[in-house]
Structure 1
Amino acid sequence: SDPYYQHLSDQGDLDDDGTLATAAVGADPMDVVLGDEAASEAEPVAPIEGPTPPAPPLSVDMPPEILEQHFIQDREIEADVIMSYQWRITHWNELDRRVTSPEFECGGHTWRILLFPFGNNHPDCVSTYLELVKEKEASPDWHVCAQFCLFISNTEVPTQFHKNYAQHRFNNDESDWGFTKFIQLREATYAAYPDERPILENGAATITVLLRILKDPTGMLWHNFKGYDSKKETGYVGLNNQGATCYMNSLLQSLFFTNYLRRAVYQIPTEDDQPASSVTLALQRLFYNLQTSDVPVDTTELTRSFGWNTLDSFMQHDVQEFNRVLQDNLEGKMKGTVAEGAIDRLFLGKMTSF
């Protein structure tokens, strides 16, 4: 035999045509695939992936749904509508002290941007606000709850911007809201880095508002309660806080709306009692005032019947312990009257262990 082939045969088996078939040490000979057959059955090699390209920079020209994801806080509050509006400004140095954008519609309301190009009582700043244009025939208690973000950007480079976010309940008393110190003029007219351009360049800039109108099914969202008439709006009034009696007020209102208990309290005889020393009479009078008063009800008479002084009203107490003491007092006064057993029928239960 040929010495060359003999040498190769020492390293592996030869095919009929003299092709060398090799196998890994310890491999099953049946697993050996020869020549072109190996190439045809080999697994395709996955291409080598390069680094993930960076996300495009944020721009004020992006759709409002994209801007919302990055710049609107508390998005769990359901929105009626979201939109963005842009106002391109030129000849900045020739602007009046106070200028407004063209009006635009959003959520069935008319809006505009209010701009003080040289500051609103702050000459070193740009001041800008979002204004809801009042409707002539609107009711005095109208309101619109909105989240918004105001941007000022380079007109030619929309990725170069400054922004501020706010949320507000627009109403008859506060129809505009925004930022007196929105951006310093120096910051707007100078680029922060050599590869950037200033926001306010050659007297031009773009102001963008991203506006999200919110649903307010209760009518109470962000209410400041100035001039609020609880009796008119709900048919009920609340309790004044003496200092730290909010825990007590919440319990008393819960008991007041437990109609069966309220009727039982009214049935307790108190003809010979004095409210300064009778918890029951003081509570009866408080419940009556909650039913008939047009203004929030004071609780001082009730706390005096407890023997509390002013300092006690400014100290937090455990509401569960307070409830227990109050109900023990009422239960004692109910004995021998038509109201006897009312506390047990309402609040007594049995505990079962499993």
Structure 2
Amino acid sequence: MDYELEKYPIEDEVEEEFKMVEKIEEYQLRSEAIFSYTFENIGPNKEEQRSETFYVRMLPWRILIIPHNRALGVFLQCNADSRDTSWSCHAIAKLNLVCYKPNAKPYTRTEIDRLFNFNDNDYGYGSFITWVNLMDPDNCYVHNDSITIEVHVTADIPLGIQWDSKKDTGYNGLKKRECTRYLNSVLQMLYFTNAFRSAVYHMQTDIDDESKLVGFQLQRIFHELQFGDRPVNTKPKLSIFHEAVDLFMPCNAQDFLCKLFHKLEKHMTEDTIPGLFKGNLSSNVKLETANHIPTPCESFYDIKLNTKDKKNIYDSFEDLIAIKKLDGTNNCDEIDNVQRNKGVKFTSLPPVLHIHLKCFQYDPIKNSFTMENNRFEFYEEINLDQYLAKSENTPSDYILYSVLVHSGNYYGGQYVVFINPKADGRWFKFDDDVVSSCRKEEAIDQNYGGTNDKHNSNAYMLVYIRQSELNRVLGDVPENEVFSDLIERLDRREYVPFMLENYVESQESN
């Protein structure tokens, strides 16, 4: 027997019990589950049976079978024993009758797509399968007078039921306000870029210095997200971002990021933002009668990729670097009647790569921007070595860290962000104040877009982190990195002048 286990049995039992509680909570919080149950003594006109309870999104679910005279009814129940009338939960589910024949496919029916609530807490098929078909020995559905029903459930966050994001996921949300639009999603993306969060904590800010007020508000938001226990109220902070980066103007998330970085860069150590987000590319212009004419390197903090008529992210990168013909409105106008071609190559790629997908295209006929909804695939891992002018010290292997999703039109709409905080494949959905765990497919595959897809959402911005930089970019940010003088200022109730709070109130009432 292990000596340590023998020496400290009580401590070990407590630790094991704590781990077990954690596993149970995680099990109940899951967004999807595959559950099977074997029903015995099957036959026409017998008593209905319910399976044991399994949990998805903290709600109890069961499989219900009702034997009728000519067929077997199979149903999925959600929260059926609750007397609360206010709850609802949208779910997608598949009911399968298991076949005992080796390698045989189960018997199934059309997928369930349903809003469950107090008045409609079960859904399924009264005639799931006829007794003739069920009892046919060649089908191998019945074994020792028993059948096994399997259900695959994927559920959204339930409504009308208290959801404690910090307790249930470990992460805080940001309260939704009018005019926040993409702000909450972008702030969450920046917050979980831990190296950036640490740099924000180290900024020298002053609540009495207007030029440093944006940095201070960012410090406060990050601190409350990290150490608070409830959704962060951005109400007294919004006006600072509005005035600093023209948030009321119809710019997009990428424009906002550029303006915010420019605002913060002067108050951070010199290499903080460039060291995380800056890359470089070079252009080459070739005349039909001359060699390539190199142009100076250009720096970038994000990459804009065309998605129209592109199948995937690699197609878009190929389009970005492809040699293109220049017309007379471009460079080298002084050289007449000479064919000019231009191509680009990356000379360096950053640790944190922001990719803006150009989903909106200008329609000159309608004089407005329309959203392209073609299917566009991106991947959990990508390699960009082939787009570099020359190899760098480490491979340009990137792992997907965040997916910002937009629904609506160019001038408004809803934003949510999916984040993989530790780059370990565990994804979370940040929808303003509601944070929930989600499947990788919900964060990636279901945001490819395309009119033929059931989930018709489009990714708007992607964030990739270079694998060789994961430890630096996503390293933990301990509480002792928040200096005592900053804590003192954060605790001051008068950190925002009364006039600014009134300004936000007036904007929200308009």
TM-score by length of 1: 0.43
TM-score by length of 2: 0.31
Larger proportion of strand: 2
